[in-house]
Structure 1
């Protein structure tokens, strides 16, 4: 039976690729890369550089054009499901070109805010292709953010809430620390309070990596401005941040 590896390759630093990922890459005969258009060509180039470093000989790369989707839909869940289905159709067609073992290189980790595994399950559910698949974990952008800021994600005994910019606007800060991903609207500017601190990072692990941290009300304008500058210069941006309110200290009884 044919096999597909779904390989997490880290948040952007080629040195974050694990030995388990390298071994899986060396077993694969073809690599599927989901392209995001010319503006995000650098994301494809990083994957190509990783393959050149870890795989002997020229790697067979099959690029899959990511289908467009509505970024501000009335029914977000339904639009995303349709997008996943269209992605599955493209992956199925690409995998049909491979007789043996294929691999998909996934930014960060396949288990965290990534649709690749859902796409693979969609392909299998269609019943037209039969294959086994294995997931190789990668360094998440959450872990990379914490490492670059030299911080622990949570205080003693407190939880960590991982969410999106859209949910942050709808629900506000969770208990403990809140990590926010997929935020194109700088939703942190809508978080109330003067006691919140932010740790922000863009292009983690890449040459253009940018870090800002401090009291939210003091640095939010700097982050908004810097983010806009970076996006304008590169045509795309990948960023993530952690928010945390000041620790509540209970008086001794």
Structure 2
């Protein structure tokens, strides 16, 4: 039996790791760290720094993460990509644990929110490996965003929709929602909606030293976000960002608190 713990690490800030996450890392026989290429080397470095500072006695194994095909249909490409990752996980686990053991995989944010690690783990099990999966929750980018701007996620009695940039761009504003949190946006999906009466709270590199925040009426700050995002991506070689959109209600209370740096 191999136990694989998927440990949420928030945005990589050591202060974001829970006591449970640190204990899981220290009790493990191995921490698995994916390498995403030279352009995202500092993401692996952050994970390795967490291991060195919080669980220095736990061995670390790195592995190269395959790239998802950029052409063709999106969902089949994602499925093929997950299959390839599952094979690498299985090979790494089998190579280190011929007689069983406990491994940890560090996951940005929380493993339950727009993350593929749980689905990949199911593929490993489907491939025949006896695998017990544990999840240690982490701070999500969404909670880090609302904390950074000091705003509530929802308006009173109203629903919140969590979606992706692709869905917002293709489908527009989700019906019935006052507030829409947008993740995994390749950049500027909010340009597909009517900005009239919409507030945006945007954040990149949340919880990191290079954290960057912009907030305000979408019609006024949308272009600024596009420009700043491109500049930050060029400077760092990668970007992780998220934003919350909110429509003002006709009766007034839809905007919520605002924090505009």
TM-score (structure 1 length as normaliser) = 0.94
Matched residues in 1 for 2:40 and 2:229: separation?
16
Query: What secondary structure is seen at the aligned counterpart in 2 of 1:97?
Result: helix
1:227 positional shift: 0.5
Is this contact kept in 2: 1:12–1:206, CA < 8 A?
A: yes
Could you tell me which runs of 5 or more consecutive residues in structure 2 were left unpaired when the two chains were aligned.
Answer: 253-261
Could you tell me which runs of 5 or more consecutive residues in structure 1 were left unpaired when the two chains were aligned.
Answer: none
Query: What secondary structure is seen at the aligned counterpart in 2 of 1:7?
Result: strand
Matched residues in 2 for 1:60 and 1:106: separation?
17
1:68 positional shift: 1.4
Output the aligned Cα RMSD: 1.3
Is this contact kept in 1: 2:187–2:226, CA < 8 A?
A: no
1:186 positional shift: 0.9
1:31 positional shift: 0.9
Does the alignment pair 1:85 with 2:87? no
**Number of the residue aligned with 1:42:** 42
Matched residues in 1 for 2:110 and 2:187: separation?
23
Query: What secondary structure is seen at the aligned counterpart in 1 of 2:158?
Result: coil
1:3 positional shift: 1.2
Query: What secondary structure is seen at the aligned counterpart in 2 of 1:198?
Result: strand
Residues 81-90 or 1-10, more deviating: 1-10
Does the alignment pair 1:60 with 2:62? no
Does the alignment pair 1:117 with 2:118? yes
**Number of the residue aligned with 1:244:** 246
Deviations 1:132-180 (A, max 9, x none): 1211111000000000000000000011100000100112122120000
1:248 positional shift: 2.2
Does the alignment pair 1:144 with 2:144? yes
Matched residues in 1 for 2:144 and 2:157: separation?
22
Does the alignment pair 1:183 with 2:182? no
Query: What secondary structure is seen at the aligned counterpart in 2 of 1:192?
Result: coil
Is this contact kept in 2: 1:12–1:203, CA < 8 A?
A: no
Is this contact kept in 2: 1:180–1:240, CA < 8 A?
A: yes
Is this contact kept in 2: 1:12–1:204, CA < 8 A?
A: no
Structure 1 stretches of 4+ with a deviation exceeding 6 A read: none
**Number of the residue aligned with 1:157:** 157
Deviations 1:199-218 (A, max 9, x none): 00000011110000000010
Matched residues in 2 for 1:56 and 1:63: separation?
15
